[in-house]
Structure 1
Amino acid sequence: MAKKKKSELKGWKLIGKTMRKSLSIFRYGIKALGLVWQTSAVLTVAIAIFTLMSGLLPAAIAYVGKLIVDGVVLASRSGLISDRNLALSYVGFEALLIVILAAAQKGLNVSQSLLRVLLGQQVNVLILEKALTLELAHFEDSEFYDKMTQARSQASSRPLSLISRIFGLGQSALTLLTFSGLLLQFSVWAVIVLVLAAIPSFIAETKFSEHSFRLFKWRSPETRQQHYLETLLAREDYAKEVQLYQLGGMLLRRYRDIFDRLYDEDRNLTIQKGIWGYLLGLLSTGAFYAAYAWIVIEAIAGKISLGEMTMYLVVFRQGQATFAAALTSIGGMYEDNLYLANLYEFLEQPIPKSEGYITRGIEPDGIRFENVSFCYPESTEPVLKDISLHLKHGEKLAIVGENGSGKTTLIKLLTRLYVPTSGRILLDGVDLNDWDIDVLRKRIGVIFQNFVQYQFTVGENVGVGDVERLNEYQEWEVATEKGMAKPFINNMPKGFSTQLGKWFKGGQELSGGQWQKIALSRAFMRSQADILVLDEPTAAMDAEAEMNIFNHFRSLTKDQMVVLISHRFSTVRMADKIIVMADGKIIEQGSHEQLLATDGRYAHLFSLQAAGYK
């Protein structure tokens, strides 16, 4: 008895799970409908009208077909012209209905095609708008980056797919309702057989939809790796190293290995889906031919006319296909919801907004780090430990240290790309977290070592330093004069209008030193900025060019705070204050002369580099 109750309980749980799955298909339907309506209300209404027409006309066509057959039989028996004309009028009426149905279906396809393009753009814009609100840490989090990759990969087409399926389900429901009305004249059991015959296909579709989505979600890191390998093999900025180090074969093998692994999963899923679909489809076919035989027997017995037999066979065949399509739509809607869940999980990811609102400092105190430490998320090992320093207005600070000592991380904290784990950073007496982020960023001009080489024109490459004055020619002139890029720009065929990079037609490539002068000019576009941050800004230049740049640079930044990271001590020695970092800590700080007198780490590094020039 207990065993029976346990079995019944298990059965009810299974039914409950199935019901929850079925209801879950509508979870994102309203959101998707709102998104589609927002994209184009006209096309949404057009799809609804064409769907309604496509749902109602098949039953009418089937019924007119019955009238044609019965009219032909009557006319052949009676020989009357009136009966013949009546049969021909039915033919003409059916032709008209077929033309209207074809127009509705074509209109539906056209509307969906147009909406698909618009909706793809709309969803991609939503994803990119969300990406603009993310912090740097989100892009460095592989799990979160996978979510964004998954959202971008297929979700742009899924909202329309879900809406199309919902409308398609409505169309199928209308068709089935009218078909059922016709079949009920024959037998209620015919309707029941029609319904039961389509269920096996639905079971197979739902089962494999879920499995397909799980594969998609699990394999996102591998897909990103495959795209990365494509980039390495096909991009011009990687081509020289790939060729010189003969990496092509190794990269292509990795690419093929990932594809083979993903293909094996897809192949297994496709084969299983095909086998189960075929076996379960046999049940539907058997049900149809059983009903076929039943209808033929009834016609032979004279219980139904030849026209009715034809109509019932057409209705049963089309009804079965329509019902199977409806259940397949439900299975597809379930899969669409899984993808949309992933999309909205990304779009609705809570991003803590900056609550800073202060636009002016309390006092002209410059920049202060007070016992600042920083750990990366999900790490307990501090990258920076107890950093304290003070940079006054007009002072120049140089940061030196080995790679991995925390120099660039300190810069990212100063520019508020990261937030300290403990301690605080003040600008003019106000915590950086309390500053309005837009006001703060406008006060800072930055050049990172791996600055972006935009595939834009020369002028735009400089202008992006201040996007509000992106296209102001006079500002380009001033900024490139300060950044010492003007001489080689004047020698270019189209000056500031010269396309840079090789991605687009007519593009011209620059040397590493020229790109760095463009980046330096970009920082000078922010003429209102009183903080300049330079992370290895002249690494691609020779020592003499770098010295000329910084002698020029120092005269231009008398009233600005400058933070400089460099490995060349000829440049560093020009700073008012120098800090030496190691293992995330400041181990020495002072002027060039003070640090030499201390005879510590800085003096040792300086003597090593000086010896190299003797």
Structure 2
Amino acid sequence: MALSTSFAIVQQQMRRAAGLVWSTSPALMIGLFLATLVAGLLPALAAWLGQRIVDAVVAAMRLHAEQGQAPLWPVLKFVLAEAGVLAALAGAQRLLSVQQSLLRVRLGQTVNLLILEKAQTLSLAQFEDADFYDKLVRARREASIRPLALVTKSLTLLQNLISLVSFAVLLVHFSPWALLLLVVGALPVFLAEARFSGDAFRLFSRRAPETRRQTYLETLLSHEAYIKEVKLFGLAPLLLERYRTTFTKLYAEDRRLTLRRDGWGFVFGLLGTLAFYAAYAWVVLDTVRGRLSLGQMTLYLTLFRQGQAAVSASLTALGGLYEDSLYLSNLYDYLGQPTSAEGGSLTLGSQPGDGLRFEGVGFTYSGATAPTLKDISFHLAPGQSLALVGANGSGKTTLIKLLTRLHSPTRGRILLDGSDLQEWQPAALHRRIGVIFQDFIRYQLTAGENLGVGDTAAFHDETRWRKAAEQGLADEVIAGLREGYATQLGRWFLGGQELSGGQWQKIALSRAYMREDADILVLDEPTAALDAAAEAVIFERFRAQAQQRMTLLISHRFSSVRNADQILVLEDGEIRERGDHEELLASGGRYAQLFDLQARGYR
């Protein structure tokens, strides 16, 4: 990468990082800057006082030899002054450390919030994209520490530059060539670090998929949702072997890079050591020849030693700035992802009461070669129910995603009360929909909060909890819990109580009833984990509650769908049959075949 391009990257990311740190805590940012100034100025002052101490000691020794006594104050005043300077320097360095620690915690939270808030603006299609997940992994793994690292390295660079300027003021009295010797000695290490920083970043970026796969294997081997099958099927040895194989590959890459980086660093570091001892010999010889006093020798040796360390630290900081800038670019690459077009401002349709219409709707997933849905058309009026029937993969759940605007149609349009779904305000649309997905979430919250998530406006409303629980049959489940609605559900947290699959499904179903204003009820396999008796009660209550609502039901149980006003049979993303239960049985088509197959199990 060209030097000008690298500089531009560093400059851009430094501005971003400084802005991020400033927005997190202006007071800590100012404190870091002031402590850096103090820490940069004091080392040269301490070195100069060291010279004065040595020269004062030599003068006092000469005076004592000549007169038999010498005053101590000329020496002690410089000793006390140096002690005060070193104490102030230690205080400034401690202050830097404290402020960096505080900023690290606060900035980590700020960046994580930025990542999580950004996630809420992205479309479902982006979450279904593997490349997007690689960007998310790269952003989350390093970005929370890199902004502060950029700022602290910038301040370290500033501190060392201040020290170097003050050292240079003192060293120039010895020889201007001494300054060149300091820089030349540290330059090879810097060039090596810059080269390998770029290699490390490219390695990190390239292997994001492997890192994500390793995290997934860790989840399979340690998460309670998967551990049952892992133990039952004896998957642990297979998964552990894959985990070890992935780790071995990643470790081998890390090892090669580390050996090359540290090997060349050692070789080039020897050049810096050689430069220091050349300067050391130069100063010692000048002292022996009487050109320098012992105090001046002490001063210049200290300046060379600390100056070389400052130059090396400055160049290392520059290399680190470049590396941090590359990693920070991952965060802004993620934050720069295009947000889903919320669009729409309607809260009422142009034809209130018209209900829901699909008109020639088609949908193809990104990267797919064939459409998932093709030419779907139907009308669902208020007070009517629609059931979707079909084999797995026929497009039923995708249709629900389109209805809830988690995806947008690639062909055709969906109308609600006469207005295109894309013109509706998302919040207004979602308030009208109560939904239970087949893969509903088992929230590790209290029982009441598990219901409350169905309507955040009533998240803490116990009256609404009880009403929704009664409608979804969760009231009996919750009555049997140790602390009722206050019982922690799941095993993730202390005191949590686990539920059976059917009990969880009743909780999720009741959650859908929390939206009292919803006039569209979407139930995706709502009774898959329930027994026949519970299913009968659920649908009896469901029909009573759905008189003025549009209801859309997905189920493989024909006992659930037979009472729907309209039934659509989906196959390969198309509507193959439509009608009510009696009409479809009379037609003798696919629905009749499936119904007969299921009915045989009860004969």
Question: What are the ranges of 5 or more consecutive residues in structure 2 without an aligned counterpart?
Answer: none
Question: Matches of residues 572-587 of structure 1 in structure 2 within 5 Å?
Answer: 572-587=561-576
* Contact 2:122–2:338 under 8 Å retained in 1: no
Other structure's SS at 2:412 match: strand
Instruction: Using the TM superposition, give the Cα deviation of residue 20 of structure 1 relative to its aligned residue in structure 2, in angstroms.
Output: 3.2
* Contact 2:346–2:423 under 8 Å retained in 1: yes
Aligned length: 599
In the alignment, which residue of structure 2 is the partner of 1:33? 18
Q: Please list the CA deviations of residues 541-561 of structure 1 after superposition, one character each: whole Å capped at 9, or x if unmatched.
A: 123321221122111111111
2: CA distance, partners of 1:379 / 1:591 = 33
In the alignment, which residue of structure 2 is the partner of 1:499? 488
In the alignment, which residue of structure 2 is the partner of 1:219? 207
In the alignment, which residue of structure 1 is the partner of 2:303? 315
Instruction: Using the TM superposition, give the Cα deviation of residue 568 of structure 1 relative to its aligned residue in structure 2, in angstroms.
Output: 0.6
2: CA distance, partners of 1:353 / 1:182 = 62
What residue identity is the alignment partner of 1:149?
A: V
Residues 508 and 352 of structure 1: is their aligned pair in 2 closer, same or farther, counting only changes over 3 Å?
closer
2: CA distance, partners of 1:596 / 1:473 = 45
Say what the alpha-carbon RMSD is for the aligned residues: 1.1
In the alignment, which residue of structure 2 is the partner of 1:475? 464
Instruction: Using the TM superposition, give the Cα deviation of residue 227 of structure 1 relative to its aligned residue in structure 2, in angstroms.
Output: 1.0
Aligned partner (choices 149, 153, 158) of residue 165 of structure 1: 153
2: CA distance, partners of 1:543 / 1:517 = 13
- After superposing on structure 2, the runs of 4+ consecutive aligned residues of structure 1 that deviate more than 3 Å are 80-84
1: CA distance, partners of 2:162 / 2:237 = 58
Question: Matches of residues 241-260 of structure 1 in structure 2 within 5 Å?
Answer: 241-260=229-248
1: CA distance, partners of 2:382 / 2:357 = 11
- Please say if 1:370 is aligned against 2:355: no
Instruction: Using the TM superposition, give the Cα deviation of residue 603 of structure 1 relative to its aligned residue in structure 2, in angstroms.
Output: 0.6
After TM superposition, the structure 1 stretch with the greater mean CA deviation from structure 2, 223-232 or 401-410, is 223-232
In the alignment, which residue of structure 2 is the partner of 1:187? 175
Instruction: Using the TM superposition, give the Cα deviation of residue 499 of structure 1 relative to its aligned residue in structure 2, in angstroms.
Output: 0.6
Other structure's SS at 2:407 match: coil
Instruction: Using the TM superposition, give the Cα deviation of residue 291 of structure 1 relative to its aligned residue in structure 2, in angstroms.
Output: 1.0
Question: Matches of residues 42-53 of structure 1 in structure 2 within 5 Å?
Answer: 42-53=27-38
Aligned partner (choices 506, 517, 539) of residue 506 of structure 2: 517
What residue identity is the alignment partner of 1:136?
A: L
In the alignment, which residue of structure 2 is the partner of 1:9? none
In the alignment, which residue of structure 2 is the partner of 1:336? 324
1: CA distance, partners of 2:344 / 2:79 = 75
In the alignment, which residue of structure 2 is the partner of 1:231? 219
Q: Please list the CA deviations of residues 566-610 of structure 1 after superposition, one character each: whole Å capped at 9, or x if unmatched.
A: 001111101000000000100000100111111111011111111
Other structure's SS at 1:102 match: helix
1: CA distance, partners of 2:111 / 2:370 = 39
2: CA distance, partners of 1:241 / 1:82 = 87
Aligned partner (choices 521, 531, 534) of residue 545 of structure 1: 534
Instruction: Using the TM superposition, give the Cα deviation of residue 22 of structure 1 relative to its aligned residue in structure 2, in angstroms.
Output: 3.4
Q: Please list the CA deviations of residues 322-374 of structure 1 after superposition, one character each: whole Å capped at 9, or x if unmatched.
A: 10000100100001100111101111222143220010012211111111110
2: CA distance, partners of 1:584 / 1:60 = 79
Among all aligned residue pairs of Structure 1 and Structure 2, give the percentage whose two residues are the same amino acid.
55
2: CA distance, partners of 1:76 / 1:497 = 82
What residue identity is the alignment partner of 1:68?
A: I
Instruction: Using the TM superposition, give the Cα deviation of residue 379 of structure 1 relative to its aligned residue in structure 2, in angstroms.
Output: 2.6
In the alignment, which residue of structure 2 is the partner of 1:419? 408
2: CA distance, partners of 1:380 / 1:392 = 34
In the alignment, which residue of structure 2 is the partner of 1:565? 554
* Contact 1:71–1:83 under 8 Å retained in 2: no
After TM superposition, the structure 1 stretch with the greater mean CA deviation from structure 2, 134-143 or 79-88, is 79-88
- Please say if 1:110 is aligned against 2:98: yes
Aligned partner (choices 198, 206, 222) of residue 210 of structure 1: 198
In the alignment, which residue of structure 1 is the partner of 2:341? 353
Instruction: Using the TM superposition, give the Cα deviation of residue 378 of structure 1 relative to its aligned residue in structure 2, in angstroms.
Output: 2.5
- Please say if 1:289 is aligned against 2:274: no
- Please say if 1:490 is aligned against 2:463: no
* Contact 1:213–1:339 under 8 Å retained in 2: yes
What residue identity is the alignment partner of 2:474?
A: A
Q: Please list the CA deviations of residues 176-215 of structure 1 after superposition, one character each: whole Å capped at 9, or x if unmatched.
A: 0001111100001001111111101101111111111111
- Please say if 1:385 is aligned against 2:385: no
In the alignment, which residue of structure 1 is the partner of 2:77? 89
1: CA distance, partners of 2:130 / 2:71 = 76
2: CA distance, partners of 1:136 / 1:149 = 17
Instruction: Using the TM superposition, give the Cα deviation of residue 490 of structure 1 relative to its aligned residue in structure 2, in angstroms.
Output: 1.2
Aligned partner (choices 74, 81, 85) of residue 59 of structure 2: 74
1: CA distance, partners of 2:512 / 2:246 = 42
What residue identity is the alignment partner of 1:599?
A: G
* Contact 2:136–2:334 under 8 Å retained in 1: yes
Instruction: Using the TM superposition, give the Cα deviation of residue 83 of structure 1 relative to its aligned residue in structure 2, in angstroms.
Output: 4.9
Q: Please list the CA deviations of residues 461-484 of structure 1 after superposition, one character each: whole Å capped at 9, or x if unmatched.
A: 001000111000000010001011
* Contact 2:63–2:70 under 8 Å retained in 1: no
What residue identity is the alignment partner of 2:265?
A: G
After TM superposition, the structure 1 stretch with the greater mean CA deviation from structure 2, 457-466 or 553-562, is 553-562
Q: Please list the CA deviations of residues 128-150 of structure 1 after superposition, one character each: whole Å capped at 9, or x if unmatched.
A: 10001111111111101111111
In the alignment, which residue of structure 1 is the partner of 2:131? 143
After TM superposition, the structure 1 stretch with the greater mean CA deviation from structure 2, 323-332 or 542-551, is 542-551
1: CA distance, partners of 2:406 / 2:425 = 14
What residue identity is the alignment partner of 1:113?
A: S
* Contact 1:466–1:526 under 8 Å retained in 2: yes
1: CA distance, partners of 2:215 / 2:400 = 31
* Contact 1:71–1:84 under 8 Å retained in 2: no
2: CA distance, partners of 1:607 / 1:384 = 27
In the alignment, which residue of structure 2 is the partner of 1:200? 188
Instruction: Using the TM superposition, give the Cα deviation of residue 489 of structure 1 relative to its aligned residue in structure 2, in angstroms.
Output: 1.1
In the alignment, which residue of structure 2 is the partner of 1:4? none
* Contact 2:121–2:340 under 8 Å retained in 1: no
In the alignment, which residue of structure 2 is the partner of 1:428? 417
1: CA distance, partners of 2:23 / 2:85 = 33
- Please say if 1:590 is aligned against 2:579: yes
2: CA distance, partners of 1:369 / 1:306 = 94
After TM superposition, the structure 1 stretch with the greater mean CA deviation from structure 2, 529-538 or 482-491, is 482-491
Q: Please list the CA deviations of residues 220-257 of structure 1 after superposition, one character each: whole Å capped at 9, or x if unmatched.
A: 11111111111111112211111110111111111111
Instruction: Using the TM superposition, give the Cα deviation of residue 82 of structure 1 relative to its aligned residue in structure 2, in angstroms.
Output: 5.7
What residue identity is the alignment partner of 2:517?
A: Q
After TM superposition, the structure 1 stretch with the greater mean CA deviation from structure 2, 207-216 or 19-28, is 19-28
Residues 202 and 190 of structure 1: is their aligned pair in 2 closer, same or farther, counting only changes over 3 Å?
same
Q: Tell me the TM-score normalised to structure 1 length.
A: 0.96
1: CA distance, partners of 2:201 / 2:348 = 51
2: CA distance, partners of 1:520 / 1:194 = 73
* Contact 2:61–2:70 under 8 Å retained in 1: no
* Contact 1:25–1:330 under 8 Å retained in 2: no
Other structure's SS at 1:504 match: coil
* Contact 1:74–1:83 under 8 Å retained in 2: no
1: CA distance, partners of 2:339 / 2:217 = 31
* Contact 2:122–2:340 under 8 Å retained in 1: no
What residue identity is the alignment partner of 1:73?
A: V
1: CA distance, partners of 2:292 / 2:6 = 42
In the alignment, which residue of structure 1 is the partner of 2:264? 276
What residue identity is the alignment partner of 2:485?
A: F
Q: Please list the CA deviations of residues 514-546 of structure 1 after superposition, one character each: whole Å capped at 9, or x if unmatched.
A: 111101110000000000101111111123321
2: CA distance, partners of 1:195 / 1:604 = 85
Question: What are the ranges of 5 or more consecutive residues in structure 1 without an aligned counterpart?
Answer: 1-13
2: CA distance, partners of 1:485 / 1:20 = 61
What residue identity is the alignment partner of 1:288?
A: F
2: CA distance, partners of 1:21 / 1:136 = 35
* Contact 1:399–1:581 under 8 Å retained in 2: yes
Other structure's SS at 2:455 match: helix
After TM superposition, the structure 1 stretch with the greater mean CA deviation from structure 2, 312-321 or 547-556, is 547-556
1: CA distance, partners of 2:431 / 2:359 = 23
- Please say if 1:450 is aligned against 2:435: no
